[in-house]
Amino acid sequence: MDKNNLTKEYSNDEIVVVWQSGKCMHSGNCVHHLPAVFHPKESPWIQIGQANSDEIKEAVAKCPSGALAPLIFFFPNAQRVKLVFKPALVFVHQRFN
């Protein structure tokens, strides 16, 4: 397992945050914007249950490298949609069946 190229998922009932270590530039934006959720010195370092999904979405959207994007939202009809966030825009990137 390459520690420099990990992909991890952290989820609650509404979203899954995907973190890609190879993209992370350690800017600290996530910790600065939502310190209740992002704890880089702990394991797991993302404690998704410590904030609501809207707060998490907002913090993840501020990740400059895209290491914390995309988010996957769970809809009531059990469809999963992969979204890619860019500042002030949301693009539907791929639909999962």
Within-domain flag for 1: no
Within-domain flag for 41: yes
Q: Using one digit for the tens of pLDDT, what is the confidence trace for 23-57?
A: 999 999 999 999 999 999 999 999 999 999 889 98
Q: Is 60 left (phi over 0), alpha (psi -120 to 50) or beta?
A: alpha
Within-domain flag for 2: no
Domain residue limits at 63: 7-96
- Tell me whether the omega of the peptide bond preceding residue 35 falls within 30 degrees of 0, making it cis: no
If one counts the domains in the chain, the total is 1
- Identify the pLDDT of residue 90: 47
Within-domain flag for 23: yes
Q: CA end-to-end span of the chain, whole Å? A: 29
Within-domain flag for 73: yes
Distance CA 74, CA 67 (A): 20
**Considering the chain, what percentage of its residues have pLDDT values greater than 70?**
69
Within-domain flag for 66: yes
Q: Which of 7, 39, 44, 1 is nearest to 22 (CA)?
A: 7
Within-domain flag for 57: yes
- Looking at per-residue confidence, does 88 or 43 come out higher? 43
Torsion of CA 45, 50, 54, 55, to 10 degrees: -70
- Tell me whether the omega of the peptide bond preceding residue 64 falls within 30 degrees of 0, making it cis: no
pTM assigned to the model: 0.70
